[in-house]
């Protein structure tokens, strides 16, 4: 049995994984999804959320679990799993980046997002400089995030997507080969992704090589559109 910690991406929450968790659990694994600080049901005032404290929240969760975990990060919050692995490499069995930002030492997520000029979402992101947050306009949800998903997913998103703290996007990762570099990492590329396009996914996993690259012919949200196929990949990685 393996323990998977599932980290959601921008504007989302633990609900991302509502199809994945029962599949993994039915196969004998433990799967834990959390709402990051200020997101989903978490009540942390969003203007107080920082990259450092979000990383610490994930570390606290993992340190409360016996043995090692497999840490899965989606989208922007690939940065979180990288930084967690730097601080507690002895607790991380594997890192899995799902259409996620895989950023090298000294760089930030925003630098790579800026290079992804063909992404569909940027014109629809609204920034609130008072709270240092962003929101995504609803009119892009379906085509930008869920174009291969059932319509009810978009209906859920209309209710559940929230503001996102943006401070973490400019946080420079502090990674070393002795810590982060020793944790096996794997990348799942979403080849029809319109939010984090294949161009930038490929650029990142070529710059920061992974043990193995998997490809799924999906949108940015395979946990909704192809959860069984995604879980097969997660299981394969778990036993490598």
Q: Half-sphere exposure (CA, 13 Å, Cβ side) for 113?
A: 21
Structurally, the chain folds into a number of domains equal to 1
pTM above 0.95, yes or no: yes
Question: Could you tell me if 10 and 51 are in contact, meaning their C-beta atoms sit under 8 angstroms apart?
Answer: no
Q: Six-digit token pair at 166?
A: 């943006």
Residue with tokens 């209906």: 155
Tell me the pLDDT of the chain averaged across its residues: 97
Domain coverage including residue 184: 3-239
Tell me how far apart the alpha carbons of residues 216 and 228 are, in angstroms, rounded to a whole number.
12
Average pLDDT value for residue range 151-175 = 97
35: CATH: 3.40.50.1820
Question: Could you tell me if 7 and 34 are in contact, meaning their C-beta atoms sit under 8 angstroms apart?
Answer: yes
pLDDT digits (tens, 9 = 90+) for 83-141: 999 999 999 999 999 999 999 999 999 999 999 999 999 999 999 999 999 999 999 99
């Amino acid at each position: 049995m393996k323990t998977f910690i599932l980290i959601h991406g921008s504007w989302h929450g633990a609900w991302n994984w509502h199809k994945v968790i029962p599949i993994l659990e039915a196969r004998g694994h433990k799967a834990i999804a959390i709402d990051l600080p200020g997101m989903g049901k978490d009540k942390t005032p969003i203007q107080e959320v920082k990259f450092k404290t979000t990383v610490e929240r994930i570390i606290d969760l993992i340190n409360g679990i016996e043995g090692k975990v497999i840490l899965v990060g989606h989208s922007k919050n690939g940065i979180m799993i990288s930084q967690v692995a730097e601080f507690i490499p002895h607790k991380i069995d594997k890192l899995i980046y799902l259409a996620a930002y895989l950023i090298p030492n000294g760089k930030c997520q925003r630098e790579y997002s800026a290079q992804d000029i063909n992404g569909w979402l940027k014109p629809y992101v609204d920034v609130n400089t008072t709270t240092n947050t962003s929101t995504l306009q609803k009119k892009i949800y379906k085509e930008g995030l869920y174009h291969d998903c059932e319509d009810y997913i978009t209906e859920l998103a209309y209710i559940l997507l929230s503001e996102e703290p943006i401070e973490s996007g400019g946080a420079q990762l502090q990674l070393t080969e002795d810590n982060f570099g020793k944790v096996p990492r794997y990348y799942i590329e979403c080849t029809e992704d319109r939010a984090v396009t294949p161009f930038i996914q490929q650029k990142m996993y070529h710059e920061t090589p992974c043990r193995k690259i998997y490809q799924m012919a999906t949108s940015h949200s395979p946990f909704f559109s192809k959860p069984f196929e995604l879980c097969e990949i997660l299981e394969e990685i778990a036993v490598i």
